[in-house]
Amino acid sequence: MPQVWEQQLGYLVGYSMSESCAVVTLTNPTTSSTDSAIIQFSEIACEDENEYMCEVAYAGSDGSTSASSDVANISVKGNPEQPDRVPIYVPSAGIEEGNNVVFTCTGNVGKPQGKFRWVRYRRNSNGATIQETPYETETTTAVQMPGTCTFNGTSKLTLKMEHLDNNAVVRCQVVYQDVPQDLNQQTNSIDVNYSVRNVQITKSPTNPSFAEGAGPITLTCTSEGNPAVTQTGYTWYKESITSLSLGTGSTYVINNVVVNETDNYICVAQNNFNGQTFNMNTSIHIQIDITTTTHTTTMTRTKTETTSTNHKTSSMKNEKGIVQFKIGKKETVYADVNSDSTQIHVYSTMNRAEDSRNSHYNEIL
């Protein structure tokens, strides 16, 4: 019985092999002998993929005149190639958070037919990957390319854009015979517009409250958004007068640190894209307290004693006392404590301090 030696085998295009018989009538075998006839394929081509069998004609003692071998299959393989180009996506510009974007990848996926695998890489502003998400189940449709042994595949991926997809890249990779190949193309960084958010104010110094007359207080406003908020996109207000802006820019400095500057300070951040304007605000309370000042002065009292019986003697006795008084604002203390004006000033201040619940005085004799 005739036999075919190569059965159910696959060969790459260009592979050299030999077959004992061919599907065509072999009237002039490459090699022949009394018991075999061999046909040799010097270079496998796509059209060589077929079923092969060998039939021998002879005169048998039982009257038979021919016999056939089992069928042998030649399967021609084709290697995949890098995707044709960087994946295209629609829309390709003006993408907003919440938009659906369709990515398309095409190219030679080889034979047997391979497929495309998708991967999304979310990245930070420095380009470092912070999240990798594969998409394994997207369908790859393919058609055999004329004149070749391979298939041209097409795959689509639809993603709903989030703000975290800003600066992301999407990669299309060939998978051949279930093995991911080092054959891929990826998009450039994707620009995703999203409204301003995460507005925050910090203060410097970070004191919980400030004394009147202290150094300047600097407020700094930060935010997230794409496009980023520009310097003119930040506006400052006091809660007590929201109809009048204090200025623009990411920082605001309170130079005049006085009690009446105590307030809630508001930062409004704004960005714009695709003809739309978005804004968000936050506030911070700045507490400025009255400065408390303690004054100490020395006052001399003069006491006169007179003996009138014999009109003989008279003497003067000086006593010094310390007067401390504490009031809500600075008072001038005269240097000449013996003058009438000084005594009037000190006692007047003491009286006012006594009347004030926020003040006190002590007289020490």
* Rounded Cα distance, 183 and 256, in Å: 65
Query: In this predicted model, what pLDDT tens digit does every residue of 236-250 receive, in sequence order?
Result: 999 999 999 999 999
DSSP state, residue 71: P
Per-residue three-class SS string for 46-63: HHHCEEECCEEECCCCCC
In this prediction, the residues of the chain whose per-residue pLDDT falls under 70 are: 1-35, 293-365
Say what the pLDDT of residue 33 is.
Answer: 59
Instruction: Determine the Cα–Cα distance for residues 128 and 294; give it in Å rounded to an integer.
Output: 59
pLDDT of residue 32: 55
How much is the pLDDT for 190? 98
Which domains does the chain carry? 9-77 (2.60.40.10), 88-186 (2.60.40.10), 195-289 (2.60.40.10), 293-364 (no CATH)
So what's the pLDDT on residue 65? Answer: 80
List CB contacts of 170: < 8 A, sequence separation 6 or more: 87, 89, 103, 118, 119, 120, 121, 157, 159, 186, 187, 190
Cα(35)–Cα(14) distance, rounded to whole angstroms? 29
- Six token digits for residue 164: 């975290």
Query: Who's near 136: CB < 8 A, 6+ residues apart?
Result: 117
Residue 267's CB: how many other CB atoms inside 10 A? 25
- If you ran DSSP here, which 8-state letter would residue 343 be given? H
Say what the pLDDT of residue 224 is: 98
> What pLDDT, on a 0 to 100 scale, did the predictor assign at position 28?
57
In this prediction, residue 14 carries a pLDDT of 46
> Quick one: pLDDT at residue 359?
43
CA distances from 31 to 25, 69, 111 (A): 15, 18, 31
> pLDDT for 289-313, tens place per residue?
987 765 555 555 555 454 444 444 4
β 115-123/169-176 pair status: antiparallel
| Other Cβ atoms closer than 10 A to 353 | 21
- Separation CA 41–CA 13 (nearest Å): 11
**pLDDT score, position 310:** 47
